Amino acid sequence: MTQDLLRIGTRGSPLALAQAHETRDRLREATGLPEAAFEIVVIRVTGDVIQDRSLREAGGKGLFTKEIEEALLSGEVDIAVHSMKDMPTEQPEGLALDCFLPREDTRDAFVTLTEHAGIADLPEGATVGTSSLRRRAQLLARRPDLKVVEFRGNVQTRLSKLSQGIAEATFLAMAGLNRLGYAEVPARPIPPDAMLPAIAQGAIGIERRSADDRVREMLAPIHHEPTGQRLAAERGFLRRLDGSCQTPIAGLAELDGDRLRLRGEILRPDGSRVLADDVTGAVAEGAEMGRAMAERLLGEAGPGFFG
């Protein structure tokens, strides 16, 4: 970082830009620096360029982060703002990811232009759009009769697919809708008991060069430790499961004083089996609780579970 400018790297999607603006505003507030001290630098990532096929086919993890991390390492940007939901559990050598903003709503939302109030009310054989393996598996676990079609693109695109009748409902993260200020989108939050969210859903993380002390000091006052504690548990769970990267995984940690409750779930992609666990322990033990839960569920699953 040059003496007077902090370059903030981000994807160019409306949600990514909203998250970058939130980060800049919090940094301005914390540092007292003027708006001119920050520059938002939009970086094109592979995941944004691929439009014609499913992201999974294109090769899994890191599709939304690789180019941004390269820009960090080369000094093109000084920090990178990410949806933690899209972040691998390990960062490249030389980068640190330990600053988290206060978490938004962690729930998924059921979105429909029809009068159906939720998953249970959809007519027999109805079509639901989602490109999330997790949501697909969770949906089919409850309603094996439903048809799932691939749904990509931003919120507007997905809503227009609903209005064209391509599907009767879809799912979106409440966090994204709230951060974009889309109060008019017909979205009903789903309680975590009914659909456990993705690991780290609703959390924003800020990545930096490990050795950049000036940036580390600048980020310290905007870090939200309770969010960090919850993510430590959820990502501890994910880290142990990451090997099978096509695995539908869900998890949510919640704090109650110095206690942490962690719920986790792994599913077969077709929803035919769901293995779930729910534990409470000391906040400081979150990462280990997550790892141990993953171990238990993997043991229960046995070989071939994800087939």
Where do contacts with ligand PBG occur on this chain (CB under 6 A)? 83, 85-86, 172-173, 175-176, 201-202
Are the C-beta atoms of 9 and 41 separated by less than 8 Å?
A: yes
In whole angstroms, the minimum distance from the beta carbon of 85 to ligand PBG comes to: 4
Amino acid at 146: L
Question: Shortest gap between Cβ of 199 and ligand PBG (angstroms)?
Answer: 10
Q: Which is nearer to ligand PBG, 82 or 209 (CB)?
A: 82
Please say which residue, 173 or 219, places its beta carbon nearer to ligand PBG.
173
Nearer CB in complex with ligand PBG: 175/301: 175
Smallest gap, in angstroms, from Cβ of residue 164 to ligand PBG?
A: 19
Nearest distance, CB of residue 235 and ligand PBG, angstroms: 14
Residue of 4, 78, 86, 256 marked catalytic: 86
Q: Which is nearer to ligand PBG, 65 or 83 (CB)?
A: 83
Q: Is 86 marked active-site?
A: yes
Tell how strand 127-129 and strand 169-173 pair up: parallel
- Least distance to ligand PBG, CB of residue 201, Å: 4
Closest CA to 267 of 86, 131, 141: 141
CB atoms within 10 A of CB 184: 8
Q: CB nearer to ligand PBG: give 77 or 195.
A: 195
Cβ proximity to ligand PBG, 85 vs 235, nearer residue: 85
> Judging by beta carbons within 10 Å of its beta carbon (0-12, 13-18, 19+), is residue 164 exposed, middle or buried?
exposed
Query: If you write DSSP's letter for every residue of the chain in order, what string do you get?
Result: --TT-EEEEE-SSHHHHHHHHHHHHHHHHHH---GGGEEEEE---HHHH--SS-HHHHTSTTTTTHHHHHHHHTTS-SEEEEEGGG--SSPPTTEEEEEEPPP----EEEE-SSS--SGGGSPTT-EEE---HHHHHHHHHH-TT-EEE---S-HHHHHHHHHTTS-SEEEEEHHHHHHHT-TTS-EEEPPTTTSPPPTTTT-EEEEEETT-HHHHHHHGGG--HHHHHHHHHHHHHHHHHTTSTT--EEEEEEEETTEEEEEEEEE-TTSS-EEEEEEEEEGGGHHHHHHHHHHHHHHHH-TTTT-
Supply 79's token pair.
């920090």
For residue 280, the minimal CB distance to ligand PBG (Å) is 24
User: Known catalytic residues?
Assistant: 86
